């Protein structure tokens, strides 16, 4: 009996995914209003999730 298995090598991620990840990691938020808006959005999302039945 013979077994033909191909190598289990993961290909490099797409350039677009790498670009998005680099943007997210390296982006500096300078606006207090942007941080507060993001915080409020997160709190609203968590609250809705906790209250969902």
Residue 53 has pLDDT above 80, yes or no: no
Tell me whether residue 8 is in a domain: no
Domain count, the chain: 1
Which pLDDT value is given to residue 4?
A: 66
Tell me whether residue 22 is in a domain: yes
43/53 Cα distance (integer angstroms): 18
Tell me whether residue 33 is in a domain: yes
Residues 6+ apart with CB under 8 A from 35: 29
Which pLDDT value is given to residue 7?
A: 74
The domain containing residue 36 runs over which residues? 15-52
Tell me whether residue 7 is in a domain: no
Tell me whether residue 3 is in a domain: no
Question: Based on the number of CB atoms within 10 Å of its own CB, is 53 exposed (0-12), middle (13-18) or buried (19 or more)?
Answer: exposed
- Per-residue pLDDT reduced to its tens digit, 4-40: 667 778 899 999 999 999 999 999 999 999 999 999 9
Band (1; pLDDT cuts 50, 70, 90): low
Tell me whether residue 5 is in a domain: no
Helix (H) or strand (E) segment spanning residue 44: helix 32-51
Read off the pLDDT of each residue in 34-48 and give the average, rounded to a whole number.
Answer: 97
Asked if residue 35 lies in contact with residue 29, where contact means CB atoms within 8 angstroms, the answer is: yes
Tell me whether residue 6 is in a domain: no
């Amino acid at each position: 009996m013979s077994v033909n298995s191909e190598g289990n090598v993961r290909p490099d991620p797409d350039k677009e995914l790498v670009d998005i990840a680099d943007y997210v990691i390296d982006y500096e938020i300078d606006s207090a209003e942007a941080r507060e808006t993001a915080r409020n959005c997160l709190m609203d999302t968590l609250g809705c999730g906790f209250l969902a039945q």
